[in-house]
């Protein structure tokens, strides 16, 4: 039961990202062609877990690897139409996500992370703000942001 739930959650995450992007692309292409900025942006939020795999987090890591791969492929497809696609990959962020893990995973996270000062949602938001405010000729494809103490 638990495995099936995680598989569904991972599938929903990837499919949701693809469906949303598919629906948005025509509007973004039009905005890049006709709008005052002459550029449009898609910013997807992945995770450090999309760059490194971790035991007991297979579905989460696979999903986040998918976010990165999808974002890069989409970037290549729409770049010549001045739609920029970026992915922000945060390290440990102080959210409720940890409480959604099993007790074993929570113990592993506590052992690895200890009492480090985690990122706040505002830190991730500022990274996104940086990406979308670049001039038309600058595309930031990927940003990895992690807490200073995270190793």
Average pLDDT, consecutive stretches of 10 residues, N- to C-terminus, the chain (151 residues): 59 87 98 97 95 87 95 98 98 77 74 85 97 98 95 84
Task: List phi, psi (to 5°) of 84.
Answer: -95, 135
Residue 107 pLDDT: 78
pLDDT value of position 9: 65
Query: CB of 145 within 8 A of CB of 124?
Result: yes
Residue ranges of alpha helices (H) inside 40-92 are 58-78
Burial class for 138, CB neighbours closer than 10 Å (0-12, 13-18, 19+) = exposed
Catalytic residue, chosen from 17, 41, 45, 60, is 60
Strand, helix or coil for residue 40: strand
The reported pLDDT for the residue numbered 123 is: 97
**pTM strictly above 0.75:** yes
Assess whether 60 carries a catalytic annotation. yes
């Amino acid at each position: 039961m638990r495995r099936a739930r995680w598989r569904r959650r991972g599938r929903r995450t990837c499919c949701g990202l693809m469906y949303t992007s598919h629906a948005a692309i025509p509007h973004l292409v039009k905005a890049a062609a006709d709008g005052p900025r002459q550029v449009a942006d898609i910013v997807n939020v992945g995770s450090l877990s999309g760059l490194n795999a971790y035991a007991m987090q297979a579905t989460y890591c696979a999903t986040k690897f998918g976010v990165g791969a999808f974002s890069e492929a989409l970037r290549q497809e729409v770049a010549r139409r001045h739609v920029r696609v970026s992915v922000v990959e945060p390290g440990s962020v102080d959210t409720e996500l940890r409480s959604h893990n099993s007790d074993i995973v929570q113990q592993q996270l506590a052992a690895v992370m200890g009492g480090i000062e985690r990122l706040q949602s505002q830190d991730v938001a500022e990274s996104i703000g940086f990406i979308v405010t670049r001039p038309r000729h600058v595309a930031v494809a990927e940003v990895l942001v992690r807490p200073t103490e995270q190793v």
